[in-house]
Amino acid sequence: MNARYIGLIMKKDLSGLFNEKTILLAILLQLFIAMFSSFLMVGLTTMYDPSALQGYSGVRYGVGYVGEDSGLKTFLSENRQFRVYDMELSPAVAALKERKLSAVVYVPGMPPGGDEPVKITLYLIQNDIQSAIVNVKLKESFLMYEEELRSMRSDRLDILPVKLEFSEGRGQGFYEFIYGLLIPLLLFMPAIISSALIIDLITEEYQRRTLETLVSTPMSISDIIWGKILACEVLVPVQAGAWLVLLGLNGIVISNIVPILLQVSSFSMVLILVGAQTALYYRERSTAQFVFSTAVVILVLLALAFPGNPLNLIALLATGTSAAGSYAVLAGMLGLAGLLGILVTMYARRSARKNPSS
């Protein structure tokens, strides 16, 4: 293979990509989303965790409290979103049916420090939108009471729980969504796009019958294929890096940027090589894209079956956590990419020898 010829193919394909308005608009759309991620994060987080919006509501809901005084009653009373009324169970349920109350909480007369579990009954109107909202809002008070009960009964714990600290003003759901779901998906999106793009670049040469023209030059089939592969690969760290920078400008702190980009780049190279092999075999865009999409779904599902998969590693690295085995996974990805690269090169040369005019 000749590095100069590979560079010429890369330059040609990248120039063609930048002239494609559809691809440019897709990249600009991604960057637009990243630039305004803080604004969009409210809506996206709400889809993941509806309780994220509870602080934005100014409505106060009436809650009937039935039973003995407890820490739960204190938490509900201190919550500005509720008006708590001491009531008997029957009148409270009747008021709920007449929609004079939004919920009824029944706490039995059971000592918090007792041996038996504290069973709390929540009454809501069935199949009601407001009940769904109130249920989400009540969750915070229930969790606070649960934490109080755990502290009272902490002497029974054999294993101490891990305490997590979250920045003021943002709840646990926000960080679960951002670091556990959004960042891994955003960073691997360029890898999936580039791996699908390599199929278009290769099958286009076959369908337009321009490959034979390129092969008639001093370039070899390997130079042409690897020029296209590297053109797709170079887009991945650029796009992923732009995501990380723009998310950082929006106040989302991301650690271990270089290791993250290495993981994404190695994973994308594996997908791109799988796409290249698929395109070389089928030589027809729609068939190759269908087979490749099916293969990617299977590969991703298999990867997710292992705890040390790239998605989990990205989440751990982004939070600044020491991801044990990250370099082993990186080495494995690079080794797999090297093996696939050899297979792609061998198949391309054999295909060219069998059908030189293809």
Residue 24: the pLDDT is 62
Q: Is 242 helix (H, G, I), strand (E, B) or coil?
A: helix
Q: How many domains does the chain have?
A: 2
Q: Across the strands, what pairs with 122?
A: 105
pLDDT in tens, 161-181: 555 445 544 555 667 677 777
Please check whether residues 197 and 330 belong to one and the same domain. Answer: yes
The structure tokens listed for 41 are: 């994060």
Please check whether residues 119 and 144 belong to one and the same domain. Answer: yes
Residue 40 has pLDDT above 60, yes or no: no
Instruction: Indicate which CATH number applies to the domain containing 106.
Output: 3.40.1710.10
Residue 120: the pLDDT is 85
End-to-end CA gap in the chain:
20
Give the mean model confidence (pLDDT) for residues 115-131: 80
Q: State how far the alpha carbon of 207 is from the alpha carbons of 17, 44, 113, 291, in Å.
A: 18, 41, 75, 18
Please check whether residues 104 and 188 belong to one and the same domain. Answer: no
Identify the domain containing residue 316 by its residue range.
Answer: 3-35+170-354
Q: State how far the alpha carbon of 56 is from the alpha carbons of 80, 143, 319, in Å.
A: 12, 20, 27
Q: Of 35-39, 84-88, 260-264, which range is least confident? A: 35-39
Is residue 162 domain-resident? Answer: no
pLDDT > 90: what percent of the chain?
1
Cα 334 to chain centroid, rounded: 23
Domain boundary among 128, 156, 184: 156
Residue 116 has pLDDT above 60, yes or no: yes
Q: Of 43-47, 245-249, 273-277, which range is least confident? A: 43-47
Winning range, highest mean pLDDT, from 158-172, 248-262, 313-327, 343-357: 248-262
Please check whether residues 175 and 152 belong to one and the same domain. Answer: no
Reported as a pLDDT band with limits 50, 70 and 90, residue 192 is: confident
Domain boundary among 124, 156, 188: 156
Identify the residue whose tokens are 């990509």: 17
pLDDT in tens, 193-206: 888 888 888 888 88
Please check whether residues 144 and 191 belong to one and the same domain. Answer: no
Please check whether residues 204 and 339 belong to one and the same domain. Answer: yes
Residue 340 has pLDDT above 80, yes or no: yes
Residue 339: the pLDDT is 93
Q: What pTM, to 2 d.p., does this model score?
A: 0.62
Please check whether residues 191 and 214 belong to one and the same domain. Answer: yes
Is residue 165 domain-resident? Answer: no
Domain boundary among 130, 156, 182: 156
CA distance 141 to 81: 11
Give the mean model confidence (pLDDT) for residues 9-15: 74
96 contact partners, CB below 8 Å, separation of at least 6: 64, 102, 103, 104, 123, 124, 125
Reported as a pLDDT band with limits 50, 70 and 90, residue 20 is: low
Please check whether residues 150 and 181 belong to one and the same domain. Answer: no
Please check whether residues 63 and 109 belong to one and the same domain. Answer: yes
Residue 282: the pLDDT is 84
Residue 335: the pLDDT is 92
- Asked if 5 and 228 count as a contact pair (C-beta separation under 8 A), the reply is no
pLDDT in tens, 77-114: 888 888 888 888 898 889 888 888 888 988 887 776 66
Reported as a pLDDT band with limits 50, 70 and 90, residue 357 is: very low
Residue 38 has pLDDT above 60, yes or no: no
Please check whether residues 188 and 332 belong to one and the same domain. Answer: yes
User: Which long-range contacts does 131-139 make (Cβ < 8 Å, 24+ apart)?
Assistant: 131/102, 131/103, 133/57, 134/61, 134/63, 134/102, 134/103, 135/103, 136/50, 136/51, 136/54, 137/51, 137/54, 137/57, 137/61, 137/79, 137/81, 137/82, 138/63, 138/76, 138/103, 138/105, 139/51
CA distance 12 to 150: 64
Please check whether residues 78 and 106 belong to one and the same domain. Answer: yes
Whole-number average pLDDT of the chain: 77
